[in-house]
């Protein structure tokens, strides 16, 4: 029960940290840009939920597949699953980021047609979603940690990206560096680059060598 609860803590931590970040975004945007930017943030969040849904669905559904093969000692298949979800997630997020960057007005008008909101929302969308493709590394890395039963790693990187990086940047960039609403919005892409690279890099440095070593030992045992 404790192990199951530990694995579930990853999803819980992501949800609660996302809520905390959203509170900080709304509070700081209200202070720096008023109600208009709070509305822009609402649209941005709606767009983000829609475009990240395929990645979230893929990585969540891959967890039992990776866990089953890992438990069965099928380390080669586990590595293949990691490569598959990584390639698909990166490819999809790069393509969707290019679409959002090239046609931000189209995505904004799905949820709101207000003239001021569209005008101010276009540059805001481009800033917020810059580096969106790096979030795929966070999704892929955390799904591997959860699927292979490494709940501590999954929980740590959930907290690291949102609490350690995003929230301080939301406070620092507009106040210390006087970057206004642009600085608040920049907190997300910066966290995507740092958090995504750290999560995926740690997974590749810790999990991948173990899977390769396990595959070699399994192959030697079968030959013997």
Q: Is residue 200 part of a domain?
A: yes
Q: Residue-wise pLDDT tens for the chain (224 aa)?
A: 887 887 788 778 878 888 999 999 999 999 999 999 999 999 999 999 999 999 999 999 999 999 999 999 999 999 999 999 999 999 999 999 999 999 999 999 998 888 889 999 999 999 999 989 999 999 999 999 999 989 889 889 989 999 999 999 999 999 898 899 999 999 999 999 999 999 999 999 999 999 999 888 877 665 54
Instruction: Give domain status of residue 133, yes or no.
Output: yes
- Domain assignment present for 201: yes
**Number of domains, the chain:** 1
In a domain, 192, yes or no: yes
Domain annotation covers residue 224: no
For residue 169, tell me if it sits in a domain: yes
In a domain, 73, yes or no: yes
Does 178 map to a domain?
yes
Structural domain boundaries enclosing 208: 2-219
CA separation for the pair 222, 148 (Å, rounded):
23
Listed in sequence order, the residues at least 6 apart from 85 whose beta carbon sits closer than 8 Å to its beta carbon are 58, 59, 62, 140, 143
Q: Which residue has the tokens 């560096």?
A: 177
């Amino acid at each position: 029960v404790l192990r199951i609860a530990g694995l579930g803590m990853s999803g819980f931590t992501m949800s609660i940290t996302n809520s905390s970040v959203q509170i900080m975004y709304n509070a700081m945007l209200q202070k720096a840009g008023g109600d208009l930017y709070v509305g822009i943030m609402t649209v941005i969040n709606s767009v983000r939920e829609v475009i990240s849904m395929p990645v979230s669905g893929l990585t969540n559904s891959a967890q039992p597949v990776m866990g089953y093969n890992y438990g069965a000692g099928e380390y080669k298949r586990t590595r293949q699953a990691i490569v598959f979800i990584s390639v698909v997630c990166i490819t999809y997020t790069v393509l969707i980021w290019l679409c959002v960057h090239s046609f931000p007005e189209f995505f904004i008008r799905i949820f709101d047609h207000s003239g001021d909101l569209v005008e101010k929302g276009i540059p805001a969308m481009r800033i917020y979603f810059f580096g969106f493709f790096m979030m795929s590394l966070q999704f892929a890395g955390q799904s591997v940690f959860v699927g292979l039963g490494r709940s501590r790693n999954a929980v740590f990187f959930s907290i690291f990206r949102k609490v350690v990086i995003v929230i301080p940047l939301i406070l620092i960039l507009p106040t210390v560096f006087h970057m206004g609403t642009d600085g608040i919005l920049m907190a997300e892409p910066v966290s995507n680059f740092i958090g995504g690279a750290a999560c995926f890099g740690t997974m590749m440095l810790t999990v991948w060598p173990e899977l390769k070593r396990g595959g070699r030992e399994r192959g030697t045992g079968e030959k013997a």
